A and B are shown apart, each in its own frame.
Chain A
Amino acid sequence: DIVMTQSPDSLAVSLGERATINCKSSQSVLHNSNKKNYLAWYQQKPGQPPKLLIYWASFRESGVPDRFSGSGSGTDFTLTISRLQAADVAVYYCQQYIDTPWTFGQGTRVEIK
């Protein structure tokens, strides 16, 4: 199985400041044929299902605010929230889908400082 490891487990950021979440995979998720990284990011608020934010590591899902961005390639990825808003308080997960079993990171809790 591909192990996804996120860091940190939690972080507190002031409103309007930047939040950065890292995700590392135990194997590359870069697909050789199309050169796309099979990596997604989700936001989960309490009592709600996860919401897809980013796919192919850096493609923003329709309707997702542009303050959310994804970057990275191979085994190292980053989700950045450029100007944190109160509505962004949530747990964020990365997920690889290059190989089954599809696996998720353990989650990173983002709070307001």
Chain B
Amino acid sequence: QVQLQESGPGLVKPSETLSLTCTVSGVSVTNPSYYWSWVRQPPGKGLEWIAFIHYSGNTNQNPSLESRVTISVDTSRNQISLRLSSVTAADTGVYYCARNPPPGGFDYWGQGSLVTVSS
């Protein structure tokens, strides 16, 4: 079955770069039917879409974060990665990777990775 698993440091210092990896199993990230996204959730708050990527290289980022976000795909490892630069405390939260199916929305999610920005 389809599974997504986020991994990365749980603590990042202010002004540094947050790096997360999503390992996908049960489906190839090169399946042309799917896009792959990152979504975050500050503690006790709602959901914010960060960016998506298609294995073909098509990407789109939330303009609120665009200048700081890099999303990439590693087809050899079946992974999606996120880098968010110049982080502040406002970037603290749970970061999810998720799959975007053709009808839309997010149908499979990872369990999430809590990232705290603090010195």
A positions within 8 Å CB-CB of B: 1, 38, 40, 42, 48-52, 55-56, 59, 61, 93, 95, 97, 100-107
Task: Tell yes or no: B47 within 8 A of A by CB.
Answer: yes
Task: Tell yes or no: B106 within 8 A of A by CB.
Answer: yes
**Which residues on A sit within 8 Å (CB–CB) of B98?**
49
In whole angstroms, what is the CA distance A59 to B49 when docked? 22
**Which residues on A sit within 8 Å (CB–CB) of B111?**
48-49
Question: Looking across the interface, which residue of chain B has its beta carbon closest to that of A93?
Answer: B47
* Candidate in B63, B64, B103 with the most chain A CB atoms within 10 angstroms: B103
Of B49, B63, B103, the residue contacting A104 (CB under 8 A) is: B49
Q: Is the CB of B104 within 8 A of A97?
A: yes
Question: Looking across the interface, which residue of chain A has its beta carbon closest to that of B6?
Answer: A49
Identify whether the interface residues of B are mostly helix, strand, loop, or mixed.
loop
Task: Tell yes or no: B109 within 8 A of A by CB.
Answer: yes
* Candidate in B48, B64, B104 with the most chain A CB atoms within 10 angstroms: B104
**Which residues on B sit within 8 Å (CB–CB) of A48?**
111
Expressed in whole angstroms, the minimum distance between the Cβ of B65 and any Cβ of chain A is 9
Question: Looking across the interface, which residue of chain A has its beta carbon closest to that of B62?
Answer: A101
Task: Tell yes or no: B46 within 8 A of A by CB.
Answer: yes
**Which residues on B sit within 8 Å (CB–CB) of A52?**
105-107
In whole angstroms, what is the CA distance A106 to B105 when docked? 16
Interface membership of chain B positions 42-75, coded 1 if the CB is closer than 8 angstroms to chain A and 0 otherwise: 0000111100000000001011100000000000
Of B46, B60, B105, the residue contacting A40 (CB under 8 A) is: B105
In whole angstroms, what is the CA distance A42 to B39 when docked? 13
Identify whether the interface residues of A are mostly helix, strand, loop, or mixed.
loop
Near A by CB (< 8 A), chain B positions 71-111 give 96, 98, 100, 103-107, 109-111
Q: A50-B96, A95-B47 are in contact. List 16 more A-B contacts (CB 8 A).
A: A38-B104, A40-B105, A42-B105, A49-B109, A50-B106, A52-B106, A56-B104, A59-B103, A61-B107, A95-B106, A97-B100, A97-B105, A101-B49, A101-B64, A102-B49, A107-B47
